[in-house]
Every structure is written in structure tokens, then in C-alpha cells.
Amino acid sequence: MVHFRYPQKNLNGRAIKSAIAAHLVAPVLTSGDRVHAFRVVWRVSDNSLAHAWDAIVSLRHLCDDVVAKTPSLQMFVSCISGVFTNAVAAGSTRASPEKPIYPAVSYWVVLDESRASSFGELFYRIVAVCPSVQVKHIKSLRCSQIEEPLPVECGTLFVTLKDHNSRFVHQKITRSLLAAGVAHVSSQPVNAKLLLMPRSKYVQQIPAAVEVTKASGLSIELEVIDGNVVE
């Protein structure tokens, strides 16, 4: 059962994880390209939390545009996420403590190994556009649902995609779209996206790979980015 009240803690599903490892991560490892996995978090005050969630779609577009303009970019995954905190929200009771859940966008970015940008470059470019955010590496979790040991790139992509079908996050995205003036919004708006550069070395194989992962249960959409956005 997926709870409406909270985002997911982990990516669930053996079939989903196996498909991601075989069809999305394996080609990157074979190529030797570099992967940066990180999360952009709007760790705002309790008073600003609702506004930050209402703005999460436009905030995601800002950050997606920054990532898309990385010269060595091959492709990247972008997924709106909820981040738990140990702090208790103001006004909650001892019997029923409420912990803030911050809006975030998680990224898994593949860069050409021959001229890859550093994480520091991405960090400073994102902070320049959104100075109020925290940008932190995503750490790989133990992959308990797959028997064979997997590389760290699999674990970080699993964490990036944890809220691909979260009903909590779908509700937040719907509300954000409505706040932005979008008239007709699906009850399950697209959250996880794989954005592919048209000049990417993966442009021939990734479309089929995405279809395989979707068949396994992963809710993700492929988008080929206009090459003009790249500097």
C-alpha cells in the first residue's frame, strides 16, 4: 500500500531494479562515462514549506535547464522527491508529531568521460540560479532486492527514482501545476523523466531501454532535449 501522506523511502520492486541495472546503468558502465547523482533540496522554514511545494514544478524546470546546459552531458534522470527530516514541525503535538517533508529534485547525470564537468561546476551553477537550495550527493543504498552485488551507479539511480510513482508526490505535482495555472492536470502527472541529448552516444539504445524499464513497472518518460539549449 502506498500512503498518500508520505513520499517513498526506497525504490521498490525486484523487476524494476533488475531492468534499471541491465538496461539503463550497464550501457553507461560499459562506455566508461562519469555519473553524478545529487539532490537539490528546498529546506525552507515551516511557514514557507507549502509555497515551496506549490512552486516545485517551476523550480524543477529551472534546475533541469541548468543541468541540460552542461557541455559534456549525455543524458540525465530528473525526479521530484520528498525529503524526510528528523525535526518536528512547529505546532505539532507530542502524541502526533509532524515532521516536515521538504520538496526536492533528484538527479542522475551522465557526462562524457573524456570532457566531464565536475560535481562542483554543477553545484555552483544550480546555486547561482536557486541560491536558497541545498545540493548534496546521493548516497547508494544496499540493494537488498537483487541477489548479485551491483555497482554504486545502480544504487544511486534507485535512490533518484524512489518517488517515480509516489502518490504523495503526484498530489504535490498536481497542486503545483494548478497553482501555475495549468487548466487540465492528470491525477498521475509525469514525475520521473529521462532527458536525452540528441547528440548523445546513447540515442540509439536508450528509447528501447526505457520501454523495457517501463514494462517492468518503472513510471518514467523519455524526452529528447532540443540541442539548442546546450552551450
Tell me what pLDDT residue 114 has.
Answer: 78
Query: pLDDT (tens digit, 9 = 90+) per residue, 27-37?
Result: 999 999 999 99
**Sheet of strand 73-84: strand arrangement:** 134-137, 34-41, 101-111, 73-84, 192-196, 220-224
Query: pLDDT (tens digit, 9 = 90+) per residue, 161-197?
Result: 999 999 999 999 999 999 999 888 887 899 999 999 9
Nearest one of 155, 190, 185 to 169, comparing CA atoms:
190
User: Does residue 117 carry a pLDDT above 80?
Assistant: no
Entry pTM:
0.89
Nearest one of 167, 215, 160, 224 to 192, comparing CA atoms:
160
- Distances 185 to 54, 173, 223 between C-alpha atoms, Å: 14, 9, 19
Domain boundary assignment for the chain = 14-229
Nearest one of 126, 153, 116 to 64, comparing CA atoms:
126
User: Does residue 229 carry a pLDDT above 80?
Assistant: no
SS3 (DSSP) at 135: strand
Tell me what pLDDT residue 95 has.
Answer: 41
